[in-house]
Structure 1
């Protein structure tokens, strides 16, 4: 298999692991009769951070982007290659590799969400509130105001990508895996605890839209709407935030040689 194929599978596997564990912690807190029912937002935030940790560990071959906003942010920051230099899986950055990475992320996100549904099938059947079922798969605003929700997602994703790039400038390699998984996990927990209140901090188009698609096609009893009216916010906001972070980091976070 060529390097791009390896990187594609790495992004699929890593993003699937991230979404499986991340959506499952929400299911554990939100769905009735689980052991973690009503565990609270802090439990969700820590769970998502550890989900990112696990996804980054799994996606070592590809550089562990796991997020279209990270991929596009690195492109905006001038990345010339994706992958792992140490493992010889580098590929040149071009439209084909960008789309391959993003396709792997969305496919992995859908797979992870489907597995979460299988794990919590009985609890989905017991849960009376459609909103709680959708909340396992995708984010939603605490106060619905599309413009301000968009601003929140831009800010949260800017912080994610900007700090990732800052970490990357201090260590060799491209992508999150070069940093070590723990710093990235702590960063995600910090974003969730500080900026997650208004929108649930999607900060990742694949993490939100992929599971939302799974919610739409899965045979979930009494699932209700997939809230497509809001679905563009956690896609557009993170893309804008990631690209802005990549561009501004070129000026604010220069690499001194």
Structure 2
């Protein structure tokens, strides 16, 4: 039975991802924090290091911590998600449920860590931005395109890391968590401006649900009209990344 072998590492890995990732946004955006005004590059590096931590925690399950990666591996034709974990519908569902649950819990712990700052004066959109992404310029179609491209880069390059590790004599595929962390920093710095680069349906949806349920002072709405974009875009990008990688890395 693969349930615990998948669910526990993916739950805790994704929890670390959103605790530290949402945490860096809180540190930059909320009033009277030590990191207030740190800027978008600080957010990029914070999310990269959040991925670094999450990948290490979830290494035994293959460290997907992202439904787009899980789905991208299926599109790539993978036979196993990780050692001893075959690709099938039941295991796919376990991965995605664990990722959503972990993302939700990480956001809750972030709120607890910054509770007094959430209670301080700031507008609803700023508080929502700690939990979930939103566009700099709202254009649903183009926002989806941005998320597709960013997630394509993520999944395509992550699969290339695995291919390099299996087939190259160099250490290119052995950088593991550090390589993925730097990739996420690069995606954020290069492609994150239009939408805030969710590139992960669980990373956005889990914390958005937490925002809707938590008793956050003056939080406003959870922008559900936009919530489908960081789900649909990354799924499409993950599928495309897996398919193209299957054609390129043969």
C-alpha separation in 1, matches of 2:155 and 2:206: 20
C-alpha separation in 1, matches of 2:127 and 2:2: 38
Match of 2:44 in 1: 45
User: How big is each residue's C-alpha offset from its partner over 1:181-237, in whole Å with a ceiling of 9 and x where there is no partner?
Assistant: 100000000000000000000000000000000000000011000000000000000
In 2 relative to 1, CA 80–178 (structure 1 residues): closer, same or farther, beyond 3 Å? Answer: farther
Match of 1:86 in 2: none
User: How big is each residue's C-alpha offset from its partner over 1:80-138, in whole Å with a ceiling of 9 and x where there is no partner?
Assistant: 1122xxxxx52111100001000000000000000000000000000321111000000
Match of 2:105 in 1: 111
Does residue 237 in structure 1 map to residue 233 in structure 2? yes
C-alpha separation in 1, matches of 2:222 and 2:48: 25
Match of 1:180 in 2: 176
After the TM superposition, which residues 125-144 of structure 1 pair with which residues of structure 2 at under 5 Å, given as runs? 125-144=119-138
Report how far residue 253 of structure 1 moved.
Answer: 2.0
After the TM superposition, which parts of structure 1 deviate over 4 Å for at least 4 consecutive aligned residues?
none
User: How big is each residue's C-alpha offset from its partner over 1:48-98, in whole Å with a ceiling of 9 and x where there is no partner?
Assistant: 000000000111110100000000000100111122xxxxx5211110000
Report how far residue 180 of structure 1 moved.
Answer: 1.3
* Unaligned runs of at least 5 residues, structure 2: 167-172
After the TM superposition, which residues 26-41 of structure 1 pair with which residues of structure 2 at under 5 Å, given as runs? 26-41=25-40
Does residue 205 in structure 1 map to residue 201 in structure 2? yes
Tell me the matched-pair count. 245
> Does the CA-based 8 Å contact 1:154-1:241 persist in structure 2?
yes
> Does the CA-based 8 Å contact 1:10-1:60 persist in structure 2?
yes
With the length of structure 2 as denominator, give the TM-score of the two structures: 0.95
